[in-house]
Amino acid sequence: VAALLVILSLPAALAAADANTEGPPTAVEQALIEHRCGATRATSAPDTDAYDKCLNGQLESIRSDFGRDLSRLSPAERRATDAVCNRIRNAEGRDAYVACLSGQLIALRARRNHETPAVAEQAAVVPIAVPAPENPPMAPRSSPLLMWIGASAAAVFVGGAGAMVALKRRPLAATACRVCGVRVSGGGDLCPPCRHDAAESLRRASLERVEAARAQEDLERRQREQEEELSRRKVREDEEMRLLIEARAREEEQARREAEARRQEEAVREREHYGLEEDVFDPHAILGLPSDADRGAIESAYTAARSKYDADQVAHLSEEVQQHFRLKAAAVERAYQLLTA
């Protein structure tokens, strides 16, 4: 992982470089100087003075030509270098890329020195850079470096992977089912049987909730129906009561009319009886005569009726009888007046 990060950060490091020539080597510079001093290291013991001297000399040389972290490369030069070496990095990996970069820088320095008219300067630089002899032994020199970097990367990778596995495994190993305490593998805080039980009880609880909701709904529906039935019955009863009251009122009205009719009928009969009713007053009938009776018959009938209804005859009887006689006498008198007028 660390090696991968170094490779990925190379272009960024190139872009972010500044002109400072002090300080420890950057990642790119470290890779380049280790690449160039690989032969020195291979022939002597690691970290000896010769190797350190080579590293310092190469770092100074690279910085004097190209600036700290290759920051004095022109954009065109950087593009040309990337065009050649990025392809190699993609195809063959980091070591090949470092070798390519080193070769490109040496070639670039050679071109710059040829373009420079100052021969003395060129002479001074070339021996330090040693461009010619460096190219041929590149492959044999890079071999131990490649092995070393590969081993480091592998170690870092194995170490990182081990750490990750340890990190992952430690909490898993420590996890116990929170119900039964059985050790749980594969994450989670429940063992499979307990997880099944938990899911089952959740399902049952959900079913019970649904069932309870349905029962409550049924209850409410029945209550509503009862209320509606009660209200319908109330309406029916009210209607019946109204009809009953109306019927009773009609009966009373009917009885009242009948009583009125009877009373009027009685009054008519009474008036007819005494001949008081104007339109039915028949003077012949009152005197007991046929309608074609002559004057003599009328005179004799009148005399007879007057004596028949004489008030003196009933003076000793009740007031009701006397009233009856008076009415009859008045009727007889009126009939006589009408027939003789």
What SS3 state is found at 183? strand
SS3 (DSSP) at 146: helix
Residue 85 tokens, joined: 């070496």
Dmax (CA) of the chain: 200
Q: Which part of the chain contacts Zn ion (CB under 5 A), choosing from 64-72, 78-86, 175-183, 321-329?
A: 175-183
Binding residue (CB under 5 A) for Zn ion from 179, 285, 314, 327: 179
Residue 174 Cβ vs Zn ion, minimum distance, rounded to whole Å: 15
| Residue 55 neighbours by CB under 8 Å, 6+ apart | 25, 33, 34, 37
CB of 33 to Zn ion, least distance (A): 60
Of 11-19, 118-126, 167-175, 194-202, the window that binds Zn ion (rule: CB under 5 A) is: 194-202
Nearer to Zn ion, 3 or 177 (CB): 177
Number of shown-chain residues binding Zn ion (CB under 5 A): 6
**Cα separations (Å) of 179 from 48, 206, 246?**
63, 21, 79
Question: Which member of 194, 287, 298, 331 binds Zn ion (CB under 5 A)?
Answer: 194
Distance between CA atoms of residues 255 and 250, nearest Å: 8
Choices 6-14, 137-145, 190-198, 206-214; region in contact with Zn ion by CB under 5 A: 190-198
Q: Report the residue number, 145 or 194, with the smaller CB distance to Zn ion.
A: 194
Cα Rg, the chain, nearest whole Å: 72
C-beta of residue 13 within 8 angstroms of C-beta of residue 95: no
Q: Residue 180 interacts with Zn ion (CB under 5 A)?
A: yes
Q: Taking CB positions, which residue lies at the least distance from Zn ion?
A: 194
- Is the separation of the CB atoms in 274 and 333 below 8 Å? no
199 sits near Zn ion (criterion: CB under 5 A): no
Which residue, 8 or 182, has its beta carbon nearer to Zn ion?
182
Q: Which is nearer to Zn ion, 160 or 192 (CB)?
A: 192
Tokens of 101: 């970069």
Residues that bind Zn ion (CB under 5 A): 177, 179-180, 182, 191, 194
